[in-house]
Amino acid sequence: VAALKKPRRVVILVKAGKPVDETIDVLAAHMEAGDMIVDGGNEWYPNTLARGEKLRPRGIRFVGMGVSGGEEGARHGPSLMPGCERDAYDALEPVLRKIAAQTDSGPCVTWCGELGAGNYVKMVHNGIEYGDMQLIAEVYDVLKTLKGLDNDELSSIFAEWNRGELQSYLVEITSQIFARRDVEESGAETADFVVDKILDKTGMKGTGRWTVQEAAERSVAAPTIASALDMRIISALKEQREATAARFPAVEADAIPRVDKAQLVADLRKALYAAKICSYAQGMQLIAAAAAENEWSINLAECARIWKGGCIIRARFLDRIRAAFERSPDLPSLLLDPEFASEILDALPHWRRVVTLAVACGIPTPALSASLQYFYSVRRARLPANLTQAQRDFFGAHSYQRTDKPGDFHTEWLKHNPLAPSAAAAAGGGAASSAAE
Amino acid sequence: VAALKKPRRVVILVKAGKPVDETIDVLAAHMEAGDMIVDGGNEWYPNTLARGEKLRPRGIRFVGMGVSGGEEGARHGPSLMPGCERDAYDALEPVLRKIAAQTDSGPCVTWCGELGAGNYVKMVHNGIEYGDMQLIAEVYDVLKTLKGLDNDELSSIFAEWNRGELQSYLVEITSQIFARRDVEESGAETADFVVDKILDKTGMKGTGRWTVQEAAERSVAAPTIASALDMRIISALKEQREATAARFPAVEADAIPRVDKAQLVADLRKALYAAKICSYAQGMQLIAAAAAENEWSINLAECARIWKGGCIIRARFLDRIRAAFERSPDLPSLLLDPEFASEILDALPHWRRVVTLAVACGIPTPALSASLQYFYSVRRARLPANLTQAQRDFFGAHSYQRTDKPGDFHTEWLKHNPLAPSAAAAAGGGAASSAAE
């Protein structure tokens, strides 16, 4: 610490939780007012806020910075999502711009907002990453189960998609994964593919879970991301799935219709793209909700820009999201952007065909389906929630609003009701009781 | 307090949070060791644990007791879900058995487990209630949108269903809701129905949200309950839905096929029942997971029994759940119970038909669909999670397990890979690098 130029700027990348506190304590003991500590871990944002509070009296400035990029990001530059006081960011920016991945939209770093906001943006990035991965897995499952595509064909399809609107790191590595042969200990390639040897149990590290919990906390619907978390959970229950599988057919094989392979591939491409739009719409809404409640200055267009390189969800598609939020910084939902709306309309017949087909055949497509259900729900001016409110008023006197006049209303549901248990008896006294209603 | 027989047993029913603390403080000041305070509110269970800790040094025994029943439960007896030390329950039981709703399976009260467990069981009860209400709303929407059923027909259908396997309080009040005419201020009945006048924005009070957050925390998939929470959230965004609706058709009207009304009603009945089984399977798994982690002595068969009367989800169906857990107290999932499995197999063609139809036509059925996707996922021995693990290993070196040998493995995915960016160059050094792999 003593050797560093003042004000000192120290980036730590250690395991989230206690190790971060211990490292900060050791560093801070040798630091002085104006110095900065940047935590680059996947930290739960309230922990970052608490650390900032603890360091504040000493004048040490704390930065919670999301970092995405995995092994490749470590070598070629990651996407950096720092949250801190604006002037602390200004002091760090020259260094961070050099460390970050470089794209045709600039280096993948921006001021993500105040302390905590950087961790939040990274958390949602990871939730979106869960969604993207689950959507790709479902496309794989449908192609393999319905048409028996082999790994070479799958690899070609994802490579082809990677040249168009789906261009992204995850689609690219998917094509590469399907091309990878298994290798014996001797070093000799086998005829098998690694992907076929991998056990279907996934791990996870917490950020997807946090995203789902935060979405519930902020009253933001994020069903695509939630379905991806659920599938991580269900995949891990391998033994329970095997026991359940023994009681049921694996798929409804008799229901599998003749499907043209080229048409199915084209349908899946559009379905994946539309489902992705809905998933990103959920994630962006979550960031916006947290920013509003925490008074964070988060620029959603900038979030999309810095995700364009370095990080796991990097994709051409993010240019579109950036443009949508540049056109309309307060856009409540990506589905309200005219360009995305038109793309969804274009994809809709394909997307519906994919989900109906998979549902008919019994192939799980929870994320493709959750996105579609999300779209169906938010594009509907009138939902059957009137019945839900009626039920809540019936059993709990929770009251309801009306479509024809303002105010809160409560109904005595079993008065004026031919189905009331004592309707016959009540009919006599109906006039009196209804007047009191 | 001074007038009460010792040991004193005081039940408080005040608003959760600070009012509970204030009431406890006032009461405890006049109480002594061995006295009991029973909090009957919808409390977040860690708050109950903290209150128990605070009262422990003074020897005052604290009980967190879930109470369900709404207005009717208050008059005719609710379902009571107390969590506390066993001997505290024994001291309270004679009174609670008299207060509780009475059914042919006994009074709706049992020892739900240690402190906190009663609040937890009530929380999950409410999550399940959200799911049931959303499923019923979707059935209503499908019948109304696809076949234009009027309220009299809807009322008759739910009344009919209430005489069979779907018999339940929520189905019963749904039939009564559809029968209720709107009444003018003068007291005169109109030709309109109240349900049609209710704004489609739902409220909520927190227990559904907690259930979803806890499910994520405990790694339990609860997609049906989560979809119901999402629809509460989306329903409240009325203005955003209206703006989105302006950009898209409300439903895919051109895709609505000729459907026989009787067949559709029969299909929906089976779909609702099967979706309910999946939703309850999720809720029971969540209780079991929390019981295991908190070392709570929760008897799932008893939970089902005390929900049979008094509470909002009371239903004939709960006898079946009770029987399943009596047959096999450690049943990991209701789907593994032979009777439920056989009912799901029976319902499956109908359920698939409903969801494919609604998806094709663009009618949102998120809960019916989430239950079906859940079933499809857990009954599948092999999921595409192998690809997800491959991706995680590719970008983050997270390692994977194999199907053919034990251990943790990592692959250098771009070695031995014809799609590696430098495949041609790598081919020369392939033998050496693979040996090191």
Q: pLDDT tens digits, residue range A9-32?
A: 999 999 888 999 999 999 999 999
- Please say if the pLDDT value at position A339 is more than 70: yes
Contact status, residue B151 vs residue A415, Cβ threshold 8 Å: no
Question: Residue A202 and residue B388: Cβ atoms within 8 Å?
Answer: yes
* pLDDT greater than 50 at residue A161: yes
Q: How far is A91 from chain B (nearest CA, A)?
A: 30
Would you give the distance in Å from CA A58 to the centre of its chain? 37
How far, in Å, are A215, B91, B104, B162 from residue B9 at the CA level?
Answer: 40, 9, 28, 39
Strand-strand pairing, A9-12 and A36-39: parallel
3-state secondary structure labels for all residues of chain B = CCCCCCCCEEEECCCCCHHHHHHHHHHHCCCCCCCEEEECCCCCHHHHHHHHHHHHHHCCEEEEEEEECHHHHHHHCCEEEEECCHHHHHHHHHHHHHHCCEECCEECECCCCCCCHHHHHHHHHHHHHHHHHHHHHHHHHHHHHHHCCCHHHHHHHHHHHCCCCCCEHHHHHHHHHHCCEEECCCCCEEEEEHHHHECCCCCCCCHHHHHHHHHHHCCCCCHHHHHHHHHHHHHHCHHHHHHHHCCCCCCCHHHCCCCCHHHHHHHHHHHHHHHHHHHHHHHHHHHHHHHHHHCCCCCHHHHHHHCCCCCCCCECHHHHHHHHHHHCCCCCCHHHCHHHHHHHHHHHHHHHHHHHHHHHHCCCCHHHHHHHHHHHHHCCCCCCHHHHHHHHHHHHCCCECECCCCCCECCCCCCCCCCCCCHHHHHHHHHHHHHHC
End-to-end, the C-alpha distance of chain B in Å comes to: 75
CA A316 to chain centre: 17
Q: With contact defined as beta carbons under 8 Å apart, do A334 and A281 qualify? A: yes
Cα(B340)–Cα(B65) distance, integer angstroms = 30
Does A68 reach chain B within 8 Å, measured CB to CB?
no
8 Å CB contact of B369 and A369 = yes
Distance, in angstroms, between B362 CA and closest chain A CA? Answer: 6
Is B129 an active-site residue?
yes
- A193 forms beta bridges with A181
ipTM for the assembly: 0.95
pLDDT > 70: what percent of chain A?
Answer: 97
Q: What are phi and psi for residue B192, nearest 5 degrees? A: -85, 165
pTM recorded for the entire structure: 0.95
> Which residues share a beta bridge with B61?
B36
Best of A334, A380, A417 to substitute, by most chain B Cβ atoms within 10 angstroms, is: A380
- Of B279, B305, B299, residue with least CA distance to B80: B305
Chain B within 8 Å of A355 (Cβ-Cβ)? yes
**What residues pair up with A63 in beta bridges, in sequence order?**
A38
Q: Give the number of other CB atoms < 10 A from CB of residue A373.
A: 30
Strands B9-12, B36-39: parallel, antiparallel or unpaired by DSSP? parallel
Residue B283 in contact with residue B207, Cβ under 8 Å?
A: no
Q: Distances from the Cα of B329 to the Cαs of B284, B298, B326, in angstroms? A: 12, 10, 6
Residue whose pair of structure tokens reads 């969801």 in the numeric block: B355
Catalytic residue among A54, A71, A114, A122: A122
Q: Find residue B193's DSSP bridge partners.
A: B181
Q: What is the pLDDT of residues A243-285, one digit of tens each?
A: 999 999 888 877 788 889 999 999 999 999 999 999 999 999 9
The answer to whether B77 and B310 are in contact (CB under 8 A) is yes
Picking from B231, B262, B250, B257, the residue whose alpha carbon sits closest to that of residue B146 is B257
Q: Residue A424: which pLDDT band, with cuts at 50, 70 and 90?
A: very low
pLDDT of residue A165: 97
**Catalytic: which of B129, B172, B214, B302?**
B129
What is the residue type of A1?
V
Choose the mutation target among A168, A353, A377 for the interface with B, i.e. most B CBs under 10 Å.
A377
Partner-chain contact B245 A195, CB within 8 Å: no
Single-letter amino acid code for the residue at B206: G
B137 CB neighbours in chain A (<8 A) are 383-385, 387-388
How confident is the prediction for chain A on average, in pLDDT? 94
Better-scored residue on pLDDT, A235 or B432? A235
The ranges of chain B with pLDDT < 50 are 424-437
Q: Which residue has the tokens 């274009």?
A: A346
- Please report the pLDDT score of residue B431 as a whole number: 33
How far apart are alpha carbons A28 and B403 in whole angstroms? 48
Query: What is the pLDDT at residue B429?
Result: 36
Touching A: B residues 212-271, CB under 8 Å: 212-213, 216-217, 219-223, 226-227, 229-237, 240-245, 247-248, 250, 252, 255
Q: What percent of chain A has pLDDT over 90?
A: 89
Please enumerate in sequence order all residues whose Cβ is within 8 A of that of A174, keeping only pairs 6 or more positions apart, or say none. Answer: A136, A140, A158, B387, B391
**Inter-residue contact A244 to A209 (CB < 8 Å):** no
Enter the tokens of residue A118.
């950087």
| Tokens matching residue B19 | 């009012």
The answer to whether the beta carbons of residues B20 and B43 sit under 8 Å apart is yes
What are the tens digits of pLDDT across the range A304-327? 999 999 999 999 999 999 999 999
Render the burial of A129-150: b for 16+ CB within 10 Å, e for the rest.
bbbbbbbbbbbbbbbbbbeebe
Confidence tier at A433 by pLDDT (50, 70, 90): very low
Phi/psi of residue B83, each to 5°?
Answer: -125, 125
Least Cα separation, residue B241 to chain A (angstroms) = 5
Flag whether residue B202 sits within 8 Å of chain A, measured between CB atoms: yes
* Interface touch B198/A247, C-beta < 8 Å: no
CA angle, residues A400, A401, A407, in degrees to nearest 5: 115
Q: Is the peptide bond before A421 cis (omega within 30 degrees of 0)?
A: no
Measured distance CA(B142)–CA(B157) in Å, rounded: 13
Contact residues, chain B, for A348 at CB < 8 Å: 252
Contact between chains at A252 and B352 (C-beta distance less than 8 A):
yes
Residue A169 tokens read as: 């790191």
List C-alpha distances in Å: B6 to A201, B26, B54, B93, B282: 56, 18, 21, 16, 42
The four Cα atoms A342, A345, A346, A348 give a dihedral, to 10 degrees, of 150
Which pLDDT band, with edges at 50, 70 and 90, does A235 fall under?
A: very high
Do the chains contact at A366 and B370, CB–CB below 8 Å? yes
Looking at residue A434, its pLDDT comes to 30
Interface contact B395, partner A, CB < 8 A: yes
B70 dihedral zone (left: phi>0; alpha: psi -120 to 50; beta): left
Angstrom distance (rounded) from CA A64 to CA B242? 38
What is the arrangement of strands in the sheet containing A36-39, beginning at the earlier edge strand?
Answer: A9-12, A36-39, A61-68, A79-83
* Residue A187 structure tokens: 């070093």
Residue A251 is encoded by which pair of tokens?
């798929």
Which residues pair with residue B198 across a beta bridge?
A402
Calculate mean pLDDT across residues A162-182. Answer: 98
Do B46 and B73 touch, CB atoms closer than 8 A?
no
Closest alpha carbon to A165 in A328, A276, A304: A276
Which chain B residues are Cβ-neighbours of A236 within 8 angstroms?
Answer: 219
Q: Which of residues 270-299 of B touch A (CB under 8 A)?
A: none
Residues contacting A399, CB < 8 A, separation 6+: A393, A408, A409, A410
Catalytic residue among B122, B270, B276, B308: B122
Q: How many residues does chain A have?
A: 437
Provide the 10 A C-beta neighbour count for residue B221: 28
Residue B307 to residue B316: CA distance in whole angstroms: 10
Partner B contacted by A154 (CB < 8 A): no
* C-beta of residue A203 within 8 angstroms of C-beta of residue A229: no
Across A200-208, average pLDDT:
91
| Residue B194 identity | V
